[in-house]
Structure 1
Amino acid sequence: MELSLTQIISTILLMLLGIAVGAQVAPIMSWVERRQCAVIQRRVGPNRVGFFKFRLLGLGQPIADAIKLLFKEDFVPPYVHKAFYVMAPVVPVVMGLAVTVAIPWGSHIIVNNEIVNLQAVSLNSGFLLIFAFSSLAVYGVTLAGWSSNNKYSLLGGLRASAQMVSYEVAMGLSIIPLVFIWGTLDLQLMITKQSEILWGFLPNWGVIHAPISFLVFIVTIFAETNRLPFDLAESEGELVAGFLTEYGAMRWSLFFLGEYSMMFVMCVLTVSLFFGGYELPWISQHYLLDMLTPQFGEAVARWILLPLGIVVLLTKVILLMWIFVQVRFTIPRFRYDQLMKLGWIYLLPIALVNLIITAIVTAIIKFH
């Protein structure tokens, strides 16, 4: 199908929106994590850096960190495999920002009498694209571990690979029940079906239909994004800093930019699958559209609903990312053998049993 100029421009703008938001997550979350860590540990946290005489709770700290990292000496150890050492930090950043193209910011708008889907890359298998990119991001960690030519870094890279294999199986199996329930792989259609009301008073969210899938999925995305308590790839208590041992300055920060971007996207995916995405609970955009259309017309009404959908989506994502921060400073890091045991002995069988039960129940309901 030939794309019009409107479709091309809208796709580029949506891509830029996703990349811009994904790139801003790292500095903002670095400040949030440090402030929240201080609250939990009853410390002050960063509160000195501001603008001129206005300290603003230390909100200038991410800017100060960025300036420091930009001007810090970029030292490359003489014994590393230089090409792969330099390339490794780029991989998680590229994957983390590229996957933002699959984010559904809303349903659609009308521009020049054309329907513009508010998802830069609209695929029938939208979340599979996110899985594919998130899986590729681990190659950056593995490359960093191997190319550093350091035993601690190598162990960190190997752990990241084993972690990905053990948790991605359970992650994939935890999502399949939702495919059975909604009957589609398209994120947009899943979100639309979650805008309905269940039993007259509950939002028709995926977490209500498949709570076990949600629990398995939320645990696996902690492992997928190398977040505590599953950050065994950098485990400073035993591996110094793991795959990051030989990195500094901007190359060091690129790993964290990729990690935070991927964490943001996985939170968007979780919200889209289990919490209705950009839809308000109990008040669907379709209902609001019916209210606004007689007064403003459909095209203008959809433009009015666009910022509302983005705000709703980001609010849900922010709450979920805040839970990530709480978990980081609440639950101690797992041992490596505990991590593998949790993935293979517990999560995988639970996900399989959940898949089988959901398949049977869904078949009975739909074909009764």
Structure 2
Amino acid sequence: MELDLTWILLGLPTAFALGWIASRLDLRQMRIANRQAPRAYFKGLNHLLNEQQDQAIDAFIEAVQNDPDTSELHFALGNLFRRRGEYDRAVRVHEHLLSRADISQADRQRAQHGLALDYLKAGLLDRAEEALRKLEGTSYAGQARLARMAIYERSREWPEAAAVARLLEKSGEADFGVRLAHYQCEQAREAVQKGDSAKALEILAQTLQEHPRAARPRLLIGQLQLSQGQASAAYDSLSILFEHNDMTAPLAAASFAQAALASDKAASASTLLQAHYQRQPCIDVLDAITILETQNPPGSTQGEAATLQRYLDHLQNHPSMLAATRWLNGAQNEVGELPASVKKTLENATKPLARYRCAACGFEAKEHFWHCPGCQSWDSYPPRRVEEL
């Protein structure tokens, strides 16, 4: 009994001492970890400021390993992975955050937004759309709707894009009236491609009713009417663009001249075109004027002389390779027949000048685009040729 008591008396202090030593070791480890985490964090921040993303990622990974419960480090890592194009790693980081039950609602929404951006940048539009839908009713709802609208535009889902645009308008984000008009015009174009001109005209008429100041639906209506042999109706539709001095009128100049000739309204059309040219000199409008002068009556010598003089007058005030080439082509009686090599050289030289250029990204094209195929911007193409910009 005395032996047992002795062991008890010896064991209690020993156990206390061992417990104290263990606690000190734990405290020491915690202090070391706490020192290492900030050190790794600041190291990563320093690399990030120096634009050394590889080193920054390594430092943040080390910081996360030392303090796995810190959500801010996970967000930093996810953003870095996405910026580097490592979308699979960024997705894993944000999915890990969403799987945690200990993060706040604000951080959960932030992680959901980050996951949607990961999918969007990776080009996984279906997954991005699904992730963005989950942000409805959150502080990221406006951004999510704009991103969804961009997705629908890229995939040419115009009714869905219009629905989101109306939601944004209703929430007071901005006025999307012009964008909605474009969506309807795109649907009309698709109807024409499918051979349903009646549906296209119905859509465009509704668009004009809802957006009476929009120029594109009026232009499309006129061109569609002209293609269906309704020259007089096309003249009436397109003439409004010139009467209102619309900036996009030069895009309709050639169609307007054809409609005027077909409906015996060349004189009034020429008056409108000349008035517009005086306000906004433009090679497309000048070409339309010369078409009316040379073809009404056809082969008129007086008309051809007036045409040549118009191009010379244009050149005096607006030096233009396009105008000079047109003058040379029409002045063969005065300068003689141009050699084929000269014609080919002039044609090659003027081709780039006759293109249209996006003001947002510089993408050039032979035809005018309302929606830039390069940067996806709307109304970024000026209705003038590259030479006239």
Q: TM-score range by the shorter chain?
A: under 0.3
Which structure carries more helix by proportion?
Answer: 2
Tell me which of the two structures has the higher relative contact order, counting C-alpha pairs closer than 8 angstroms and 6 or more residues apart. 1
Q: Normalising by structure 2, report the TM-score.
A: 0.23
Q: Normalising by structure 1, report the TM-score.
A: 0.24
Larger C-alpha radius of gyration, 1 or 2? Answer: 2
